[in-house]
Each structure stands twice: as C-alpha cells, then as structure tokens.
Amino acid sequence: MTKEEYRQSCLDVVYLAACAVNGETPDQDRVSGMNLANLYEAAQRHLLGCVTAMALESAGVKDEAFTQARWKAVRKSLTFDTERAAVLDRLEEAGIWHMPLKGAVLKTLYPKTGMRQMADSDILYDVSRSGDVRAIMESLGFETVSFVDDAYHHDHYYKAPVCNFEMHRALFFPDDQAEIFAYYRTIRERLLPDPDRRYRYHLSPEDFYIYITVHEYKHYSSGGTGLRSLLDTYVYLKKNGDTLDRACIAGELDKLGIADFEARNRSLALHLFGGEELTADEEEMLGVFLESGTYGTVPRWVEYQVRRRGRAGFLAWFLLSKTFPRYRIMVQRYPVLRSLPVLLPVCWIVRIVHILLTKREEAANQLKKAFRPIRG
C-alpha cells in the first residue's frame, strides 16, 4: 500500500467510524469504491477494526476479515467486563480504594458493545496496598507479568487468552512534563466516591475530559497517537459537551500548559467525525494522527526526545538508559533480581552482550534518527 493509498484508507475509516457512532448508514456508492484489504489494514493499525466492521455491515457489506475483527472485539470486550467486575469486587471487599480508568469508562459511551476496542484494562489504586492487590490478582488466576514496588509505575497482570490488566499507582510519572506530574500528584483529592461503592471512585465529567486530553497530549507530543484517540474525544464531547463547565476546564488546562493543544484537538475531532471541512491547521494535525497509528512511531519518539533533551543530551541519556536500565525495568526481564538484587551489575553485562549480538542495528537506527533534521 502506498502512502497515498494508506491516507485514503484512513479517511475511509474515519468516514465509516463517524457513520457508526452517529447512527448513520454509509453511502453504498462510496463504500463500493473502497479497497477492503487496505481499509482493513488501516483500521487495524488504528484499533478501529470493530467500529469499521459495524459500519460496513450496516451498508450491507460482508467481509470475512472484518467480520472476524468485529466478533473478536466483542468477545474480548465481554471477557474484559467479566474479569474487571471480579477484580473490582475483590478490591471493594478488601477495602482498597480504586478507580477504573479511560477505556473502561469510554467504552460505555459508544453505541454498541465492542465498538471501542481495548488492548488492556487500567485501574488506579491505593499504592500502599500493592502487595494485597498482587495477591488478589493472582488468586483470580492472573499471572504477574511485572511487579515493581515504587510509587509511580504500574504493575502488569495477564490472564489467558486476552486479558491484560495494568494496575496503576499513579496517573503520570516524575519524568513526564513537570506541570502535568505536579498536577496529578494530588489527584486523589479530586476523586469523587461512587454512590453505591464505598471504596470505588470516579472523576467529575470535567476532570475526566481533562485527563483523557492530557493522556492524549502526552502520546501526541512524544511518539504520537492514532485515530482512536480522536474518536474517543468526539464520542465523549458528543455525549457530554453541552453540560461540561468550559470555564472550569479552561482554568485547569492553563495550569497544565496544554490549553492550545486541547482547543486544536477538540476542533479537529468535532470537525473530522462531524463531517465538516477541515482547516489547514487541522489537516496538518490530522497528518500526525494518521502516521502514528495507535501507539505512535519510533521516529516521532526520537524526535520528541531530541527536542526535549537536545541532541547531546539525548545521546547521553539514550546510551546510559540503554546500557544501565533502572532496577524496575531490569527486574521485569530478569526476575532473579527480585530475590537477588545484588546481581544487577551481572544482569547489565548479560543484557549488553545480548544487545551487541542481536539488536545492534535497531539501536544504531535510533541513534541515526537523533541526528536527522527536526521538522518545524
């Protein structure tokens, strides 16, 4: 697929996703002219396979790849719902305060089950109870993929066949933008209790919108993020836009330093999925989303790091972090460190040898990207 073909297929995904979430039937003449193989590849890259499939089906188009994508997404969503309910019930029983994050909330705003696809389920919880949470997860049949005993980084649990759960101690890290990290260090004070659960919390509609915007900004400005993020923004604003306290949101966005990004992102989402013509600025911003896919790209991540640290600073940071990763990262690759942390220097050496033998080219390519001209 050429770049031009990929862009057109992405725009077709946008059109079909807009039809699905707005309850409209796609134009059959337009659908008949779409390359379904290219459409499927673009939709999957942006984690919009299910919503695209639903729109195609409403237009009478049956395609095996999209049919499979839809039902896999639906089954996965139902499995996540079942497992999440069990986890939340156990956290409640144990008296551990907690809050489901982002996707678990957003998916309920989409018209149909599975339409909003999820790669994992995120839950914020009381960091002081991390050991108890691990015990709960393992008692429910989850495997501990990573468990790092600090105040910020999340633990990763997996249960076959599809359930990845990330249990978050915090919403952002110390190495994130200073204003964002400082703002969310005290987020616990802004949480609202659920009416029917003693230990479950949620954000106000305004704070939730601010959070998903900050989360999107973090990815957009570093490695990039894809069309699903824009669709989330559109769906949330379509549901809540008329009742949100815009003055409150504007004041908080100013504190976070992302008011300009939010305005541009909101305008792009509303115009793009509302079927309106885009401005030149919105077209340029859309280009970043199209090229990024769901999880961003390495070139954009390298460019962000160079902008943030400078070329020399990035080179020093890159070599140091790749050569001597922190304990919390190393323990995920070398579990023996949990019981024998004294072996950390030995594991560093083993890792360096492994990179030199198997990943020299990958590391060299990242360094090369650091010395390419930075786009304006």
Residue 300: per-residue pLDDT: 61
**How far apart, in whole angstroms, are the C-alpha atoms of residue 19 and residue 274?**
9
Answer whether residue 373 shows pLDDT above 70: no
| Side-chain-side CA neighbours of residue 161 (13 Å) | 6
Answer whether residue 94 shows pLDDT above 80: yes
Residue 371: per-residue pLDDT: 53
Same domain, 29 and 82: no
* pLDDT band of 265, cuts 50, 70, 90: very high
Segment 203-226 shows an average pLDDT of 91
Whether residue 100 has a cis bond before it, omega within 30° of 0: no
Answer whether residue 116 shows pLDDT above 70: yes
Cβ contacts of 179 within 8 Å, gap of 6 or more: 255, 256, 257
Residue 249: per-residue pLDDT: 97
Segment 309-316 shows an average pLDDT of 69
Same domain, 17 and 46: yes
In which domain, by residue range, is 128 found? 71-171
Number of domains the chain is built from? 3
Helix (H, G, I), strand (E, B) or coil at 167: strand
* pLDDT band of 376, cuts 50, 70, 90: very low
Q: Is residue 257 part of a domain?
A: no
Same domain, 7 and 81: no
Cβ contacts of 141 within 8 Å, gap of 6 or more: 159
**How far apart, in whole angstroms, are the C-alpha atoms of residue 254 and residue 176?**
17
Answer whether residue 367 shows pLDDT above 60: no
Answer whether residue 27 shows pLDDT above 80: yes
The structure's pTM equals 0.82
Over pLDDT 70: what percentage of the chain? 88
Same domain, 75 and 157: yes
Q: Which of 161 and 313 is assigned the larger pLDDT? A: 161
Same domain, 83 and 131: yes
Q: Is residue 151 part of a domain?
A: yes
Same domain, 48 and 112: no
Segment 104-121 shows an average pLDDT of 93
Answer whether residue 347 shows pLDDT above 90: no
Which helix (H) or strand (E) segment holds residue 265: the answer is helix 259-273
Which of 170-192 are b and which e, b meaning 16 or more Cβ less than 10 Å from the residue's Cβ?
Answer: bbbeeebbeebbebbeebeebbe
Q: Yes or no: say if 282 and 341 are a contact pair by the CB < 8 Å rule.
A: no
Same domain, 76 and 54: no
Answer whether residue 375 shows pLDDT above 50: no
Segment 44-50 shows an average pLDDT of 94
Q: What is the mean pLDDT of the chain?
A: 88
Answer whether residue 327 shows pLDDT above 80: no
Over pLDDT 90: what percentage of the chain? 66
Segment 333-340 shows an average pLDDT of 79
* pLDDT band of 212, cuts 50, 70, 90: very high
Q: Which span out of 172-176, 201-205, 293-297, 331-335 was modeled with the highest average pLDDT?
A: 201-205
Comparing 1-10, 34-43, 187-196, 214-223, the range with the smallest average pLDDT is 214-223
Reference 258, options 292, 304, 299, 221; nearest CA is 221
Provide the sign of the torsion angle of the four alpha carbons 180, 153, 301, 370, taken in this order.
positive
Q: Which span out of 93-97, 115-119, 126-130, 152-156 was modeled with the highest average pLDDT?
A: 93-97
Which tokens belong to 236?
Answer: 């949330």
Same domain, 40 and 106: no
Answer whether residue 301 shows pLDDT above 60: no
**How far apart, in whole angstroms, are the C-alpha atoms of residue 284 and residue 346?**
48
Reference 233, options 311, 179, 286; nearest CA is 286
Segment 88-92 shows an average pLDDT of 98
Q: Is residue 146 part of a domain?
A: yes
Domain limit, last residue, from 146, 171, 196: 171
Q: Is residue 43 part of a domain?
A: yes
Q: Is residue 29 part of a domain?
A: yes
Q: Yes or no: say if 282 and 267 are a contact pair by the CB < 8 Å rule.
A: yes
Comparing 136-150, 215-229, 267-281, 337-351, the range with the smallest average pLDDT is 337-351
Which tokens belong to 170?
Answer: 């915090």
* pLDDT band of 303, cuts 50, 70, 90: low
**How far apart, in whole angstroms, are the C-alpha atoms of residue 90 and residue 93?**
5
Q: Yes or no: say if 291 and 227 are a contact pair by the CB < 8 Å rule.
A: no
**How far apart, in whole angstroms, are the C-alpha atoms of residue 350 and residue 335?**
14
| 356 burial via Cβ count (<10 Å: 0-12, 13-18, 19+) | exposed
Same domain, 7 and 85: no
Q: Which of 241 and 358 is assigned the larger pLDDT? A: 241
Q: Is residue 78 part of a domain?
A: yes
Domain limit, last residue, from 171, 204, 231: 171
Same domain, 57 and 81: no
Same domain, 149 and 128: yes
Ramachandran region, residue 191 (left: φ > 0; alpha: ψ -120 to 50; beta: rest): beta
Q: Is residue 364 part of a domain?
A: yes
Domain limit, last residue, from 149, 171, 193: 171
Same domain, 56 and 79: no
